A and B are shown apart, each in its own frame.
Chain A
Amino acid sequence: DTEVTQTPKHLVMGMTNKKSLKCEQHMGHRAMYWYKQKAKKPPELMFVYSYEKLSINESVPSRFSPECPNSSLLNLHLHALQPEDSALYLCASSQVWGANQPQHFGDGTRLSIL
């Protein structure tokens, strides 16, 4: 069991659907992250939230829309995705954003776009 909980674990959606990925942590961490990971590749950073404010957007297409409604929750809203967006989406958190902070990862949501 991880301290960062991601739901759903698996998601299959069509290109016209709208869905959301959810991430939750109750460790009091004030930094939360979304990563995208393709098969046999390292994770790629998508977004960083620090104190519920978007701090980094790594040139992610607008069909991915992050939201941080409170310090424990991080959502990733998906709309009009492409087949190449199929990947494992990992959420992570750390006490604060910056160096020397270990990140705690969730188990990920495996997303398939039909």
Chain B
Amino acid sequence: KNEVEQSPQNLTAQEGEFITINCSYSVGISALHWLQQHPGGGIVSLFMLSSGKKKHGRLIATINIQEKHSSLHITASHPRDSAVYICALHTGNQFYFGTGTSLTVIP
């Protein structure tokens, strides 16, 4: 049983498209993180959410605590957005990772 489910697993988009990646979870959380991992391996923390919505540049993250669901949106996608996007949960002292969404943006 996965505490965190992401969809889609793989996503290909044309440059400029609006992209949505979804994360559903089944446990109570204190915070949800969206992470970005480029092919080289390093992971960058994009957002940490416990409620509502956050925006940073072309990225928007939302969370609905009641529905146990979060979304990551990318507006005006660009090839440099190509990466794996990972949803991760904080529950007390546990940290659960989703399996990731591999995004490819084609010029």
Residues of A within 8 A of B (CB): 2, 37, 40-45, 56, 88, 90, 92, 97-108, 110
Number of interface residues of B (CB under 8 A): 23
Cβ < 8 Å to A, chain B residues 11-46: 30-31, 33, 35, 40-45
The answer to whether A99 and B92 have CB atoms under 8 Å apart is yes
The answer to whether A42 and B97 have CB atoms under 8 Å apart is yes
The answer to whether A100 and B42 have CB atoms under 8 Å apart is no
The answer to whether A42 and B100 have CB atoms under 8 Å apart is yes
Query: Is B50 an interface residue when CB atoms closer than 8 A count as contact?
Result: yes
- A92 — nearest CB in chain B belongs to which residue? B43
Q: How far is the CA of A103 from the CA of B43 in the complex (A)?
A: 10
- B91 — nearest CB in chain A belongs to which residue? A99
Q: How far is the CA of A57 from the CA of B23 in the complex (A)?
A: 27
Q: How far is the CA of A98 from the CA of B40 in the complex (A)?
A: 28
B98 contacts across to A, CB distance below 8 A: 42
- A48 — nearest CB in chain B belongs to which residue? B93
A58 to chain B, nearest CB (A): 10
The answer to whether B45 and A102 have CB atoms under 8 Å apart is yes
Q: How far is the CA of A106 from the CA of B44 in the complex (A)?
A: 9
The answer to whether A100 and B30 have CB atoms under 8 Å apart is yes
B45 contacts across to A, CB distance below 8 A: 102-105
Residue contacts A-B, CB under 8 angstroms, 27 given: A2-B44, A40-B100, A41-B99, A42-B88, A42-B97, A42-B99, A42-B100, A45-B95, A88-B41, A90-B43, A92-B43, A97-B93, A98-B92, A99-B30, A99-B90, A99-B92, A99-B93, A100-B31, A100-B48, A101-B90, A103-B33, A103-B95, A104-B45, A105-B43, A105-B45, A107-B41, A108-B41
